[in-house]
A and B are shown apart, each in its own frame.
Chain A
Amino acid sequence: MLTNEEVAQTIINQFGEAVSDFDDPYDLLTFSTTRETIIPLITYLKDHQTFQVGFLTDITGIHYPDSVGKEFCVVYHLHSLTNNFRLRVKVYLSADDLHIPTASPVFASANWMERETFDFFGIIFDGHPDLRRILNMEEMDYFPMRKEYPLEDATREDKIDALFGR
């Protein structure tokens, strides 16, 4: 069984300044890294002798409109099936430079996950083989999961927040 501290220490020794914000909410190792490091990091974890983090569980995005310079976050959930060890890697991006390298050469499953993230958040994955919208229609000109688009039509009077306890 791997412990969070052990893995975190190894990653710090390997990548030094590029990884930060180590935490373990609900016993799941979480840390942040930069977009230059993310692909070497997941490749390193995949090829590591003892970690063998060979399964990409999920890629998704989060939008934090209030945090300046870190408006967008791409979250990678990785899983080592041999050690039963999960970890979560976050990459924060600023709104005026939404580029991150693609993980699809490392994991084939990253293809559609990244397309979905692009579809909803507009995060551009450089080097992706086929970066198109996947769930929404091609003609859409905005990214619906961003926080500035409210769910309800803002012009309606019968759906104001006060009536719903919001």
Chain B
Amino acid sequence: MVSEDLDIANKNLPAEQGPVQYVNELTTLNLGPTHPATHGIFQNVLQMDGEKIVSSEQTIGYIHRAFEKIAERRPFYQITTLTDRMNYCSSPINNMGWHMTVEKLLGIDIPKRAQYIRVILMELARIADHVVCNGILGVDTGAFTGFLYIYQERENIYEIYEEICGARLTTNMGRIGGMERDLSPTAIRKIKELLVRFPKILREFENLFNRNRIFMDRVVNVGSISAERALSYGFTGPNLRAAGVDYDVRVMNPYSSYQDFEFDIPVGQSGDTYDRFMVRNEEMWQSLRIIQQAMDNLPEGPYYADAPQYYLPPKQEVYKNMEALIYHFKIVMGEIDAPVGEVYHAVEGGNGELGFYLISDGGRAPYRLHFRRPCFIYYQAYPEMCKGLTLSDAIVIMSSMNVIAGELDA
């Protein structure tokens, strides 16, 4: 007799003392470095209890390219190529931000036409950035269609870039002191066509997602963050606005004539994935508004500042004009004598406040250049945001945060 009250034949078991006790054991799950859903190279080691994430440890720096160190040896013009490669979804914003930083250091005033052209290009870049982010968020939740249709428009934006500067991804757009060339008639035509065509596609995209039952089940109340925590974590841009703080560099510290335009700042409430998605969608509409106003009121006049010692002259001038040849040689050989000083300039990048902290000691290259990269600063909140959620939630949170590996690692 094993036990008095154990009668298996009649299925009489001893009285239970509560539910069966299991040993709690955490599963270690390695998400990354090259997981297709991370859209970049960063590793997350998740500790999971069943399918709930208990904690996660991030490893970043897989594509760290020492940009700040390289920048210490390069003349100001050559640093433009480094800024391209940070947030490679919206290169023009980085280029313009860098040029504006140098112009602030040198004290150059930019003519209105160049400022408006910059605004148009920056807003196009913002649209491209948000198209990538929201399209990919759709893909991560399983909706491939919206991504396919809206990526056609990103292609069209890249064609506009091509028309303006010849490159598509790493644009190198602009010059210190203005633009390298005026908007060509083709570029103007393409921008106007985009203004007509893109709203329809964006409306279609929104109809597909905004009240979609499957999509909302996946993203509503996933990865919420309170405004207070978001500020403490240094969130900026759409992620902070989704949490309910209406901080936008374009409104707070207007640069490049942003004060001339009327646009709204979309603000979310709960800071969850759905709010981030909606804020980005609405920002695309606002960007279209800004582009429309800028195209309608594009002022006449020169497209570069009257600063021959800093503005790289057009190549046709160099062949014909002695002054231009001399300045061209000096600028290319890096003999710009920059004033001594330190500048912090921030622009509203694709996903937050993109800041450039430049210290010049009067040499041909910056003494120290630091990029305030929004991604790098808000990605550290990721473990806190996906705590207690499932793995599928962790994927959509990462997509909606728009973590760009190039900007994260610089």
| Residues of A bordering B, CB below 8 Å | 25-26, 28, 30, 54-58, 60, 62-63, 75, 77, 81, 84, 86, 88, 107-109, 111-113, 116, 120, 134-137, 144-145, 151-152, 164-166
Q: How far is the CB of B272 from chain A (nearest CB, A)?
A: 19
Residues of A within 8 A of B344 (CB): 26, 28, 77, 86, 88
- Is A58's CB under 8 angstroms from B357's CB? yes
For A57, give its contact among B245, B355, B364 (CB under 8 Å): B355
- Is A165's CB under 8 angstroms from B335's CB? yes
- Is B372's CB under 8 angstroms from A57's CB? yes
B346-371 interface with A by 8 A CB criterion: 346, 353, 355, 357, 359, 364, 367-368, 370
Candidate in B64, B229, B341 with the most chain A CB atoms within 10 angstroms: B64
Q: How far is the CB of B225 from chain A (nearest CB, A)?
A: 11
Q: How far is the CB of B242 from chain A (nearest CB, A)?
A: 16
B392-410 interface with A by 8 A CB criterion: 409-410
Residues of A within 8 A of B144 (CB): none
- Is B253's CB under 8 angstroms from A112's CB? no
CA distance in complex: A75, B381 (Å): 22
- Interface SS of chain B: mixed
Candidate in A81, A84, A111, A135 with the most chain B CB atoms within 10 angstroms: A135
Q: How far is the CB of A30 from chain B (nearest CB, A)?
A: 8
Q: Given the interface contacts A151-B70, A166-B364, does A77 sit within 8 Å of B343 by beta carbon? A: no
Residues of B within 8 A of A120 (CB): 68
- Is B61's CB under 8 angstroms from A136's CB? yes
| Segment at the A interface, from B3-11, B85-93, B231-239 | B231-239
- Is B234's CB under 8 angstroms from A109's CB? yes
Asked if B35 lies at the interface with its beta carbon under 8 angstroms from chain A, I say no
Interface string of B230-274 (1 = CB under 8 A from A): 011110000000000101000011000000000000000000000
Q: Given the interface contacts A25-B343, A58-B357, A77-B357, does A84 sit within 8 Å of B380 by beta carbon? A: no
Q: Given the interface contacts A62-B359, A111-B380, does A81 sit within 8 Å of B234 by beta carbon? A: no
Residues of A within 8 A of B247 (CB): 81
* A/B pair count, beta carbons within 8 Å: 93
- Is A107's CB under 8 angstroms from B372's CB? no
Asked if B104 lies at the interface with its beta carbon under 8 angstroms from chain A, I say yes
CA distance in complex: A60, B359 (Å): 12
- Is B380's CB under 8 angstroms from A60's CB? no
Residues of B within 8 A of A137 (CB): 61
Residues of A within 8 A of B380 (CB): 108-109, 111-112
For B104, give its contact among A26, A55, A136 (CB under 8 Å): A26
Asked if B333 lies at the interface with its beta carbon under 8 angstroms from chain A, I say yes
- Is A134's CB under 8 angstroms from B233's CB? no
Q: Given the interface contacts A25-B341, A145-B68, does A165 sit within 8 Å of B364 by beta carbon? A: yes
Q: How far is the CB of A147 from chain B (nearest CB, A)?
A: 8
CA distance in complex: A60, B66 (Å): 15
Residue of A nearest to B370 (CB): A60
Residues of B within 8 A of A151 (CB): 69-70, 72-73
- Is B355's CB under 8 angstroms from A77's CB? yes
Residues of B within 8 A of A60 (CB): 357, 370
For A134, give its contact among B60, B72, B334 (CB under 8 Å): B60
Residue of B nearest to A147 (CB): B72
